[in-house]
Amino acid sequence: MRRARSLHTSRRASVVALDPGTTWDVVASGEAGPQWYVDAAPLVVRRWIDRLALGPALRREPPGRPHLATGDEVGFWKVVEADHQTRRLVLVAQVRSPGRVTLEVAAQPHADGTEVELAVTLSPRGLVGRAYELVDLPAREAVSELLVLHLLTVLRRHDNPWAASSVDQV
């Protein structure tokens, strides 16, 4: 797995042994039921934290169609971009936060299947947002790591429910 980080963004990338179309179907799935972008453990914890912080603590169901679309609201996310041509999904968190939290996922062709890249970005607002950005960095790194591992697990199960080698985690 490739990892990168800046003060604002935590980024992870890994290759899965699935074709880009199949990978995208999982990444951008709008089907009813559990979805990686709603039900991953770090997002459930974040929803609980939002409730404690007197935020909206939203958990909206997926729209029940094959793919998410721009404007959809799922979990505590608003879909601001769902580009099915370039296979890029951008979600903005609707939570109590001193800044804008964005989750971006892209699925690009790779010689060994598909490279999945996930980025979590905090764009702080004001002085409180800047301070929060510094304090939040370790938590954002952990959330990025756990979230991409959850997504890779979902993709691996989609590839072959019995195979552990379909995801490159080097």
Q: Alpha-carbon distance 32 to 39, whole Å?
A: 12
158 pLDDT higher than 80: no
Measure the CA angle with vertex 89, ends 26 and 151; round to 5°. 40
Instruction: State yes or no: pLDDT of 160 exceeds 70.
Output: no
Give me the residue label for tokens 């899965």: 16
2-168 is a CATH 3.30.530.20 domain? yes
Q: Fill in the DSSP letter of residue 40.
A: S
Supply the pLDDT for residue 74: 93
Where along the chain do its domains lie? Answer: 2-168
Query: For helices 126-159 and 41-52, what crossing angle results, to 10°?
Result: 150
The token pair that represents 30 in the structure block: 């709008």
Give the integer Cα–Cα distance in Å for 76 and 43.
9
Name the band, by pLDDT with cuts 50, 70 and 90, for residue 166: very low
The residue-averaged pLDDT of 46-67 equals 78
Mean pLDDT of the residues in the chain: 86
pTM assigned to the model = 0.85
The DSSP output letter for 90 is E
pLDDT digits (tens, 9 = 90+) for 78-92: 999 999 999 999 999
Q: Is 22 within 8 Å of 158 (Cβ atoms)?
A: yes
